[in-house]
Amino acid sequence: MDNNQHGIVLFDGVCNLCNASVQFIMKRDKKGYYRFASLQSDAGRDLLKKYNLPTEGFNSIVVIEKDKVYQRSTGALRIARKLSGGWFLLYAFIIIPAFIRNAVYSWVANNRYRWFGKKEECMLPLPEWKGRFIE
């Protein structure tokens, strides 16, 4: 896959919040820019290794665009800027220092299973979205 044509989002496939976020992104990514892989999948682990990121205990969304890696709040904001429906306006929060944005991001990430729950297995994409997942 050409990383210059599409952004890649790596997400926690057993996290209910993360799965809902992927569905949210897909519905608003009208141009189909993003491709997805769970952190637990072979493709996800291969990409983590390629970019020298840990493959276990990962607590962040990972966005890869043009061979650059963005994590935590920066990754989330980079996703928002490609979405339709005014969501791109959230990218303005990039002016807030990363240590502040990431503190909020980490607080949510550290509590995501408690607040939103966890699945036993990664979600299966809807048939119409299957082509947007990296295998």
Q: What is the pLDDT along the chain (135 residues), one digit of tens a residue?
A: 445 689 999 998 888 888 889 999 999 999 999 999 999 899 999 999 999 998 887 788 999 999 999 999 999 999 999 999 999 999 999 999 999 999 999 999 889 888 988 876 666 666 666 788 887
Q: Is the pTM of this model over 0.85?
A: yes
Q: What are the sequence ranges of the domains in the chain?
A: 7-121
Position 32, amino acid: G
pLDDT of the residue at 1: 46
Tell how strand 62-65 and strand 68-71 pair up: antiparallel
Six-digit token pair at 56?
């276990």
Nearest to 5 by CA among 67, 75, 52, 62: 67
Nearest to 131 by CA among 35, 14, 6, 46: 35
Which residues on adjacent β-strands are paired with residue 133? 36
Alpha-carbon distance of 90 to 21, in angstroms, equals 15
pLDDT of the residue at 135: 77
